[in-house]
A and B are shown apart, each in its own frame.
Chain A
Amino acid sequence: MNLTLKIWRQKDADTKGKIEAYKVSDISEHMSFLEMIDVLNEQIINEGGSPVAFDHDCREGICGMCSMVINGKPHGPSDAITTCQLHMRSFNDGDTIFIEPWRANAFPVIKDLIVDRGSFDRIIQAGGYVSVNTSGNTIDANAIPIPKEDADTAFDAATCIGCGACVAACKNSSAMLFVGAKVSQLALLPQGQTERTERAKNMVAQMDKEGFGACTNTGACAAECPKEISLENIARLNREFMKASMVGN
């Protein structure tokens, strides 16, 4: 198929960006979206231009690196996949496709489609862990049985890949789904109980400090999440935060 691509080009963080148009032809429907961008870049390089910079790594939907807003939707038109899992069979010959980076104050653009998601790392650093040192002397892994349902729900929350599509999808650029997923995972497990209160407070404080917006329960985050992280995690984060605020410091 033949396509017109309208892509956000921005030299670096300090330069103003703009949309530029490109044409690609003979695109196979079996190609992944990123392989189509590879073809475009090969074409740009051969013409002596500057290839489109974009983040990607595993190309199997798990590392969370790829991050494109395609026709206005984070990770493109299909549900429950990352950009790298999107295939060209989702498009038609003659289509014009708009490709932009994640847009959020807390994710500044570094170049073209690449943004800085360091704010997510700093939120985890604020409390997204159990404070246990390495030792060969923790208790046996089977010493505390965990109801299967709790373990499964914690797992579902823990499958978040930290890509930031939730933030990109939200009109307020809220990170509540990302934070809610980590807080939920650890709140559901016995190992997370000791630091439960501090964790909720500290992670929310860091989220606010990074400049993410407020949550208005629109649900765009969960709708666009490639791992289908449920909105229940935001409800649980609200409960955890409320509880933490009421039990004092």
Chain B
Amino acid sequence: MNAPETGHAVRLDAVSKVYGTGGGTVVALDGVTIGVPRSALTAVMGPSGSGKSTFLHCAAGLDRPTTGSVTLDGLDITGLGEVALTRLRRDRIGFVFQSFNLMPALTVLQNVTLPSLLAGQEPDRARVAEVIRRVGLAERTGHRPDELSGGQQQRVAIARALVNRPAVIFADEPTGALDTRTALDVLGLLRESVVEGGQTVVMVTHDPVAASYADQVVFLADGRFADRLDRPSADQVAARMTHLGAWEGRPAGGASKGGVR
């Protein structure tokens, strides 16, 4: 466990996250140990309240674990301060959120180069052009987000995440707000970045179809690691999710935290 994690882009070691103090505490993550392999698409699944989002926040340095440690790209980020975490996010992490990914005041091009702007660096023009072309928005670089469709907005977000060749891209329900066809486009793009660019992607989702694009699927339930499937089909994922939901709903299984949607 303590050996150099050359194969892991992100590693969580016995990570717990407790919200609140006193009587009103909620244990969102309860001793989770998970490694995310490099150059692979990893999907994180689980019912609502299973700790998926908290997992993503802790892994991406958006939130600090209560106990345990997080290693990202070989760097222990557990004790980093706010500014160091911000730099880490800027330089080594890309984000794709479910919605509201883009600054409404900025054009496609400006949104894609935003991390460079924040870093005070001149963006690599060739790389920016290539990434924008790859997501299919070469004709729309001067448009603002409100002039784009939902799918196009997600593609801009992916371009922004890819442009700096980050160690990891974290995607939080990237297809949650899209129709099926557009969702498949976006998943295809993420998959392509892994296969062709050797990119590492961690995607939180509750959609078995989205999860079927992953190299491995990690299941969480009640804040704990529940299971793992390698290269599953959508049906396998759905079956596992149903099982998790049933398992969670059993009276002996502890507090019910909602079901599967």
Q: Do A and B come from one complex?
A: no
**Residues on B close to A: CB < 8 A?**
none
Question: Footprint of B on A, CB under 8 Å?
Answer: none
